[in-house]
Amino acid sequence: MHISNFRPVKRVVDVVRPFARIRKDVPSILVMVGDGPVRGEAENEAHTLGVESDVHFLGRIESVAPLLASADLFFLMSDRESFGLSALEALACGVPAFGYNVGGLPEVVRDGVTGYLRPVGDVEGSAAAAVSLLLDPTRLAAMRTAAAADARARFSLNAVVAQYEALYRSVTG
């Protein structure tokens, strides 16, 4: 699954490309949620790679948690990302997140524990990690559990408020 506003920075074509590779080894569908100026590029890439029948563009959806809960993996392949809220939402639903090692994503995704981070443009590395994980149900289950637990532990309301309070105390003395 992928959720975004389909702007160039989101590199949505880089979501379709690993999916095409994954699909060769693991029967899969790709759900793309959102809309924006580069949606057509992703649709064209799906057609070019011959996977368009297994890529579903749902457009904008307000409540994504039920969809996320049904996903096996989440892909956010941005080349710049201030935080990666959609990746955190996926992790909170117990869905391992895949992305590029940029911006705030390394703060959200613990590489090899709650998902995988690769250098920008490493579509093949992302696909290989995804295939390996999907073909290992025990490791996938462990990563799903770790994703949900880590999201709750590090990003719950209580944890975040405590961090802000500590910051304010350190600044105000």
The whole-angstrom separation of Cα 101 and Cα 133 is 19
What is the value of pTM for the model shown? 0.91
Q: Helix H segments across the chain? A: 13-25, 39-48, 65-69, 85-92, 105-108, 123-134, 137-155, 157-172
- Examine the pLDDT at 104 and tell me if it is beyond 80: yes
Q: What confidence tens digit (pLDDT) does each residue in 29-50 have?
A: 999 999 999 999 999 999 999 9
Structure tokens at 110: 């613990």
